[in-house]
């Protein structure tokens, strides 16, 4: 969607071309299903049909490459794009193709739709994922950044760092996250402890970090001998003297925030039969976010600013989408440079969401969000022209190295998902330094970091695309 930029109080009015096919999609927005024709015409056709019925979607079938249907999908202006793939796809390559596809539905550099890849061990597994019910996240497990649990009702933390062996943490309802000692002191103890927790099958969200591969997760970082390994669609927790099967079924989402390669699923020498991601999706995960290449940069960690810290305002998939909008602003406006820019460009393209991108998976609110964001939409006398007023107030600024932390003076840049696609934007008033509106989002730049109690707003008129 062609972007509209506002610097200070000077509005630069841009136009988003919205002509094209109008879909009948559900209230959440148009839903495009992009699939190889031979896949749609075979047994996997029932997966495509289930998505089409569930979301009022429109199918775009290609023969060799999604590029064949890009113009038609762009004219459809979807909010969601779901790529349906058999598990034999080369996913590291396809994820990059899908990411580029969804950035090129129009002429700006921003991602133009919330996208995901729906696959499974077979069509029946994929059909289960297509039919998944919403996931409410009340109880989380993390083996990294225990303080993230302060943003969920309850949860459990076990350290991944060898330097911190024995460190545990707990978040109970109504109480802050607390650390304790006395945890595992060896790889074998760590494997047994984590196996016991995951086997209880009480978590709605699992967050993993540290070294990972197509088929496994190393439990400790930077090195260790404890692994959770997928083989033939089954899990085994192993360490010296330990070999325990693991099964789970509770509906959940899995965020491999810092793992390398667990999003590969299938490639030349790595069979989907041993996929770590798919095996979790056989063990209750309705969505999985992971990397399809090795990563040395922490861009995906910033997704917590939307998914966790806004207390259920955004779904798992929306949070990844908003992160991508934010990261492209950093690149497009040259906020990052050198190694920082290189890392942002690299990791922005290698994280992928598996599952239905329209699935409702969000945190159950348990505290005041980091930001209070409101959007007032008022009708005008001019038909589909509306006046939108967006306001933000900062409630929390954290510590650490993330770009919204105290180190960076707080919340300088952020993104917000609009309820409708818009065009013909005219800004009437704002106290942000800069605003970009790429059709579906407001991306704001305060110029300097905002601290607790700081407020900003933008008021503009726009025409919304009627679904």
Is there a domain that residue 195 lies in?
Answer: yes
Are 158 and 271 found together in one domain?
yes
Are 358 and 389 found together in one domain?
no
Contacts of 115 (CB under 8 A, 6+ apart): 80, 81, 82, 83, 98, 99, 101, 102, 321, 353, 357
Are 395 and 450 found together in one domain?
yes
| pLDDT at position 59 | 98
Give how far Cα 128 sits from Cα of 55, 283, 359, Å: 15, 12, 13
Nearest partner of 437 among 29, 106, 13, judged by Cα = 13
Is there a domain that residue 318 lies in?
Answer: no
| pLDDT at position 21 | 31
Instruction: Among 340, 363, 386, identify where a domain stops.
Output: 363
Instruction: Give residue 384's domain range.
Output: 4-16+368-464
| pLDDT at position 17 | 28
| pLDDT at position 28 | 66
Are 250 and 157 found together in one domain?
yes
Are 359 and 393 found together in one domain?
no
Cis peptide before 342 (omega within 30 of 0): no
| pLDDT at position 130 | 97
Are 359 and 394 found together in one domain?
no
| pLDDT at position 466 | 62
Is there a domain that residue 335 lies in?
Answer: no
Are 377 and 359 found together in one domain?
no
Is there a domain that residue 213 lies in?
Answer: yes
Are 359 and 456 found together in one domain?
no
| pLDDT at position 438 | 87
Instruction: Among 363, 393, 411, identify where a domain stops.
Output: 363
For residue 377, give the CATH number of its domain: 2.60.40.1170
Task: Say what the pTM is.
Answer: 0.92
Is there a domain that residue 58 lies in?
Answer: no
Is there a domain that residue 168 lies in?
Answer: yes
Are 245 and 288 found together in one domain?
yes
Are 139 and 288 found together in one domain?
yes
| pLDDT at position 206 | 98
Are 284 and 251 found together in one domain?
yes
CA dihedral 359, 19, 417, 203 (to 10 degrees): 10
| pLDDT at position 399 | 81
Is there a domain that residue 443 lies in?
Answer: yes
How many structural domains does the chain have? 2
Per-residue pLDDT in tens (0 to 9) along the chain, 467 residues: 444 444 433 333 332 222 233 333 334 689 999 999 999 999 999 999 999 999 999 999 999 999 999 999 999 999 999 999 999 999 999 999 999 999 999 888 889 999 999 999 999 999 999 999 999 999 999 999 999 999 999 999 999 999 999 999 999 999 999 999 999 999 999 999 999 999 999 999 999 998 999 999 999 999 999 999 999 999 999 999 999 999 999 999 999 998 889 999 999 889 999 999 999 999 999 999 999 988 888 888 999 999 999 999 999 999 999 999 999 999 999 999 999 899 888 888 889 999 999 999 999 999 999 999 999 999 888 878 999 999 999 999 988 777 888 888 899 999 999 998 888 888 999 999 999 998 899 999 999 999 999 999 999 999 887 64
Are 265 and 410 found together in one domain?
no
Is there a domain that residue 110 lies in?
Answer: no
Instruction: Among 342, 363, 384, identify where a domain stops.
Output: 363
């Amino acid at each position: 969607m062609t972007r509209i930029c506002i610097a200070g109080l000077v509005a630069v009015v841009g136009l988003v071309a919205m002509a094209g096919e109008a879909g009948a999609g559900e209230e959440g927005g148009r839903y495009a299903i992009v699939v190889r024709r031979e896949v749609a015409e075979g047994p996997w056709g029932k997966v495509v049909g289930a998505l089409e019925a569930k979301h009022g979607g429109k199918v775009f079938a290609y023969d060799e490459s999604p590029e064949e249907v890009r113009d038609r999908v762009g004219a459809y202006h979807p909010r969601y794009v779901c790529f349906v793939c058999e598990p034999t796809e080369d996913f590291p390559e396809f994820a990059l193709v899908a990411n580029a596809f969804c950035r090129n539905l129009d002429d700006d550099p921003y991602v133009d739709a919330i996208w995901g890849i729906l696959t499974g061990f077979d069509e029946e597994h994929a059909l289960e994922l297509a039919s998944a019910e919403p996931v409410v996240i009340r109880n989380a497990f993390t083996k990294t950044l225990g303080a993230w649990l302060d943003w969920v009702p309850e949860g459990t933390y076990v350290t991944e760092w060898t330097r911190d062996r024995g460190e545990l943490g707990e978040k109970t309802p109504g109480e802050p996250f607390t650390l304790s000692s006395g945890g595992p002191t060896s790889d074998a103890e760590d494997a047994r402890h984590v196996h016991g927790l995951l086997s209880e099958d009480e978590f709605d969200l699992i967050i993993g970090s540290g070294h990972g591969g197509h088929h496994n997760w190393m439990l400790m970082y930077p090195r260790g001998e404890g692994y959770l390994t997928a083989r033939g669609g089954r899990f085994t927790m192993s360490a010296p003297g330990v070999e325990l099967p693991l099964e789970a079924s509770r509906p959940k989402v899995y965020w491999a925030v810092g793992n390398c390669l667990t999003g590969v699923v299938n490639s030349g020498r790595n069979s989907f039969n041993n996929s770590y991601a798919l095996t979790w999706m056989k063990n209750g995960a309705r969505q999985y976010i992971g990397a399809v290449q090795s990563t040395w940069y922490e861009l995906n960690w910033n997704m917590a600013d939307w998914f966790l810290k806004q207390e259920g305002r955004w779904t798992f998939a929306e949070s990844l989408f908003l992160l991508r909008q934010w990261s492209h602003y950093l690149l497009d406006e040259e906020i990052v440079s050198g190694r920082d820019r290189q890392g942002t460009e690299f990791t922005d393209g290698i994280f992928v969401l598996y599952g239905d991108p329209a699935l409702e998976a969000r945190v159950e609110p348990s505290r005041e969000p980091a930001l209070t964001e409101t959007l007032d939409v008022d009708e005008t006398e001019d038909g589909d022209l509306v006046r939108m007023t967006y306001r933000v107030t900062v409630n929390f600024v954290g510590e650490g190295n993330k770009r919204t932390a105290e180190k960076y003076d707080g919340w300088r840049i952020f993104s917000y998902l609009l309820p409708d696609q818009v065009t013909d934007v005219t800004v009437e008033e704002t106290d942000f330094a800069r605003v970009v509106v790429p059709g579906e989002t407001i991306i704001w730049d305060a110029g300097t970091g905002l601290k607790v109690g700081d407020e900003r707003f933008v008021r503009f008129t726009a025409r919304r695309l009627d679904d």
